[in-house]
């Protein structure tokens, strides 16, 4: 376990992938992301840059939301063109609703990048030549199979330039609808 980070770095909110999907996405990222810039595990970013001074507030909010939320249904739905990179597109209305709740809570503190509706995805390649991005997209399209999964929780990170520092992880613990 890493010691707490005392930082003025921005905070990043991500959705947690289930272990088998995390392993698969990490392997794609390792194979296709430029190695000199591949400092992170595969991830699904919900918010890119909350101000550092809301760290305790963000931890409390994410903890509360995760405790009240059942694992969130989602679907890997296709290959996404990032221009100079490639990602796996994710469709999840429920995660988008959860993300909107987090964004609403921090209204007035969001950056321009976070003050719009995102396209959920896992980046597997970025900052490469356009021809290389197109080649990977064509290769992945030929073998891609859409599949459903459930997000398992939320995480908070300190942006530290390259690698991120963990600020907390919270598993979804809410009951699924229809259960008692």
| Structure-block tokens of residue 131 | 């021809």
Residue pLDDT, tens place only, 10-26: 999 999 999 999 999 99
pLDDT of residue 6: 61
| Mean pLDDT in residue range 160-171 | 92
Query: How large a percentage of the chain has pLDDT more than 70?
Result: 94
Question: What are the structural domains of the chain?
Answer: 11-171 (3.90.1140.10)
DSSP H stretches of helix in 121-170: 130-143
Judge contact between 168 and 155, C-beta under 8 A: yes
Residue that wins the pLDDT comparison between 4 and 148: 148
Spatial CB neighbours of 86, under 8 Å, sequence gap ≥ 6: 32, 79, 80, 123, 124, 125, 133, 136, 137, 140
pLDDT of residue 95: 98
Query: Is residue 54 over pLDDT 70?
Result: yes
Query: Is residue 66 over pLDDT 70?
Result: yes
Judge contact between 25 and 124, C-beta under 8 A: yes
Query: Is residue 2 over pLDDT 90?
Result: no
Spatial CB neighbours of 38, under 8 Å, sequence gap ≥ 6: 29, 30
Residue 3 pLDDT grade (very low, low, confident, very high; cuts 50, 70, 90): very low
Judge contact between 29 and 124, C-beta under 8 A: yes
| Mean pLDDT in residue range 139-152 | 97
Spatial CB neighbours of 91, under 8 Å, sequence gap ≥ 6: 74, 75, 77, 120
| Mean pLDDT in residue range 114-129 | 95
pLDDT of residue 162: 80
> Pick from 64, 84, 62: which is nearest to 15 by CA?
62
Distance of CA 166 to the CA centre of its chain: 14
């Amino acid at each position: 376990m890493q010691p707490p980070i005392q930082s003025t770095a921005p905070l990043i909110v991500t959705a947690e992938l289930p272990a088998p999907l995390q392993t698969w996405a990490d392997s794609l990222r390792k194979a296709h992301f430029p190695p000199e810039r591949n400092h992170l595990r595969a991830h699904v970013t919900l918010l890119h840059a909350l101000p550092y001074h809301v760290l305790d507030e963000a931890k409390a909010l994410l903890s509360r939301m995760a405790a009240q939320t059942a694992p969130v249904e989602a679907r890997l739905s296709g290959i996404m063109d990032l221009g100079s990179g490639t990602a796996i597109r994710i469709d999840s209305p429920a995660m988008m609703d959860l993300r909107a709740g987090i964004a609403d809570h921090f209204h007035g503190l969001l950056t321009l990048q976070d003050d719009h509706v995102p396209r959920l995805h896992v980046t597997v390649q970025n900052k490469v030549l356009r021809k290389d991005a197109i080649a990977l997209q064509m290769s992945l399209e030929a073998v891609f199979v859409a599949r459903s999964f459930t997000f398992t929780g939320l995480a908070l990170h300190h942006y530290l330039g390259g690698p991120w520092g963990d600020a907390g992880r919270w598993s979804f613990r809410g009951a699924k609808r229809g259960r008692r």
